[in-house]
Structure 1
Amino acid sequence: MQLIAYIITYPILWLISILPFRLLYAFSDVVYFIMFRLIGYRKATVKENLRLVFPDKPEEEINKITSQFYHHFCDMMVEAIKSMTISEAELRKRYTFTNVDLIHDLEKKQRSIILMCGHYGSWEWVFILQKQIKHKGYAVYKRLANKYFDRLVKRIRAKHNSYLITTKETFEVLNKSKKKGELTINGFAADQSPKPNKAHHWNEFMGIKVPMYTGAELMAKRLDMAVVFFAVKRLKRGYYETTFTTITEHPKDIKDYEITDAYFKLVEKQIIEAPQYYLWTHRRWKHRDKVPAEFQ
């Protein structure tokens, strides 16, 4: 069944991917109408999240942010499909970096990097960074259920010298690279919600206490990697600008969980500035009522 689904779906995705951007975003508008206006995909979750973190915003503003979010969400989906055929030159034009010299400086210092981001703005096209730096690129991801689509996503990233690894593979792969003397830059989107019984750290995110993933911090300390955050700004439809911020070059000198807390503050800053570009469809605050006594 997986192969049949792939055989049927792949040609459709390819045809969408070769559309010129004007038609691609017209298609996105159609998807928006179906997803938001007709189906209401996760609309209740989006509004619940927005009301939770912005209790002082009037309902009119919540509705406006919700609509803007779905427009952006649909754009991200078609941009991900566009990744199948988009050229390097087009990517360089549409996804730019304000201070890539920060990465080059760490390269000169022979420092591998844990590159952290939130599910904000656009992270689909960040792999074009690999064409501008010498670090070998890895991104931690959740393997897709359909093995054929999983291979497709890996092939797309590999075109730009970026490789996907699962959480379970991460330490083994990165430790092996370290022993070889390879410089690596390793992407983590760490703002999802871990299970409460597996969380080692709880703190406030957008004013609400939640469990926090600490795997990126742990990996940085175990392998002695610099920690860098990248913030994405949407300039206009289909154009993004990324800015790097060093959280620490020497994670072993930082107290436990301070790196994680600093990361979440940086994600918060983006959300407060332009909330419509955050991924509101996932239930990030679902464990807020399960705070262990020692963290209250």
Structure 2
Amino acid sequence: MAKISPPKLGAASLHPKNWGAWILIGFMFSISLLPFRIQHYLGLGIGRLAKKLLKSRVHITRRNLEICFPDKSAEQREQLVEGCFKHLGHSVVDTANAWFWPQWRFAKHFKVEGAEHLNKAREKDGGILLISAHFWTLESHARAYGTLDPGVGIYRPNKNAVYEYFQYHGRTKSNKYLVDRTDVRGMIKALRTNNAVWYAPDHDYGTHAAVFVPFFAQDKAATITGTATLAKVKNVQILPTYALRNNDGSGFTLVIEPAVENYPSGNDEQDAHTVNQIVEKAILRAPEQYMWIHRRFKSRPPGESGVY
């Protein structure tokens, strides 16, 4: 499968079935024009509204937190629920800014932690596999990392042609191109040509090419083995990276951690567990900023009932 060609907009994009997408894109562009301080309050409002409307996602969030943090009190977990939806609201603003802001304005609102690890990795020949996770800042993360080291993103194309156009071009604002998340050969090719490839193995993608290993307090979380497969590409280095919103409201921080050593080991369970530990470490820095709204534990081993 070849890399995805940059989508284009034709006359068909004006069909009434696409008007909703155009309204959404127009709303996002309008957000990007607002002063940063006003954007902050708008994000809070969107988050509060989302928590009221998305009842099923609130339930999933609470359940995930119960499973992952059984030692926390109900009050502590509820604070994380509130924080999660607050950052959901901020993510709408962040996405608008990442897709539409000029570089000079975007650069004013992020800083980098660990740039030396990227510089060290780039001193060697080979690709870089960026191990990340689904934080609410992922759009900002993609653009921020690309300003340092333009790379290749892994994503799921959107079915709506209008939204897909802006999603693709927004995510490649400072990066090279995108690869479908099912296109393993495309990912390997990108790594073999010394590209940095963004990869988020933290969701439950089903039981195909996956093993059940611990994730926080859940000892049987379906975790894909594809990370180790990609890590076997010659000369590839593994760098954990993610972005976190700053508590002072100044923007966010792009975090790049030291390269992972002695990976993969050749043992699927051990390698998958290692990846989960990398993700856990990142989440613990700001658990309220993680996308707990997804059913992380929807796949269960044979004979076990669902947890949601």
With structure 2 as the length reference, what TM-score do the two structures score?
0.83
Deviation, 1:125, is: 1.4
Cα distance between partner residues in 2 of 1:15 and 1:188 = 30
State the match for 1:128 in structure 2. Answer: 144
The one-letter amino acid paired with 1:202 is: F
1:172 aligns with 2:186: yes
The one-letter amino acid paired with 2:296 is: R
State the match for 1:85 in structure 2. Answer: 100
Instruction: Output one character per residue of 1:228-265: Cα deviation in whole Å (capped at 9) or x when no partner.
Output: 1114343223522233234446756x323344322211
Instruction: Output one character per residue of 1:56-84: Cα deviation in whole Å (capped at 9) or x when no partner.
Output: 22222222111111111110122112223
- The worse-fitting range, judged by mean Cα deviation, of 233-242 and 116-125 is 233-242
Deviation, 1:132, is: 2.2
The one-letter amino acid paired with 1:160 is: S
Cα distance between partner residues in 2 of 1:280 and 1:176 = 30
- The worse-fitting range, judged by mean Cα deviation, of 38-47 and 63-72 is 38-47
Instruction: Output one character per residue of 1:139-168: Cα deviation in whole Å (capped at 9) or x when no partner.
Output: 111111212211211111222134221023
1:187 aligns with 2:210: no
Instruction: Output one character per residue of 1:85-117: Cα deviation in whole Å (capped at 9) or x when no partner.
Output: 222233323222222122222222112101011
Q: Write out aligned runs for 1:91-240 (5 A).
A: 91-120=106-135, 122-126=137-141, 127-133=143-149, 136-172=150-186, 174-175=188-189, 178=192, 182-196=193-207, 198-208=208-218, 209-236=220-247, 237=249, 239-240=251-252
State the match for 1:271 in structure 2. Answer: 283
**Cα contact 1:225–1:250 (8 A) shared by 2:** no
Give percent identity, aligned residues only: 20
Give SS of 1:84's match: helix
Q: Write out aligned runs for 1:22-101 (5 A).
A: 22-37=37-52, 40=55, 42-101=57-116
Give SS of 2:59's match: helix
The one-letter amino acid paired with 1:78 is: V
Deviation, 1:215, is: 1.5
The one-letter amino acid paired with 1:83 is: A
1:242 aligns with 2:247: no
Structure 1 residues 26 and 200: CA distance shift in structure 2, 3 A? closer
Q: Give the gaps of 5 or more residues in structure 2.
A: 1-15
Cα distance between partner residues in 1 of 2:213 and 2:240 = 19
Cα distance between partner residues in 1 of 2:54 and 2:199 = 31
Give SS of 1:145's match: coil
Structure 1 residues 176 and 96: CA distance shift in structure 2, 3 A? closer
Cα distance between partner residues in 2 of 1:233 and 1:7 = 29
Q: Give the gaps of 5 or more residues in structure 1.
A: none
Give SS of 1:159's match: coil
Q: How many residues align?
A: 285
Structure 1 residues 279 and 108: CA distance shift in structure 2, 3 A? same
The one-letter amino acid paired with 1:161 is: N
The one-letter amino acid paired with 2:146 is: Q
The one-letter amino acid paired with 1:264 is: N
Cα distance between partner residues in 2 of 1:89 and 1:210 = 42
Among 21, 26, 38, the alignment partner of 1:6 is: 21
Structure 1 residues 176 and 77: CA distance shift in structure 2, 3 A? closer
Structure 1 residues 41 and 35: CA distance shift in structure 2, 3 A? farther
The one-letter amino acid paired with 1:260 is: A
Instruction: Output one character per residue of 1:142-199: Cα deviation in whole Å (capped at 9) or x when no partner.
Output: 1112122112111112221342210233423642673xxx320000111000212x14
**Cα contact 1:226–1:251 (8 A) shared by 2:** no
The one-letter amino acid paired with 1:149 is: Y
Cα distance between partner residues in 1 of 2:164 and 2:254 = 26
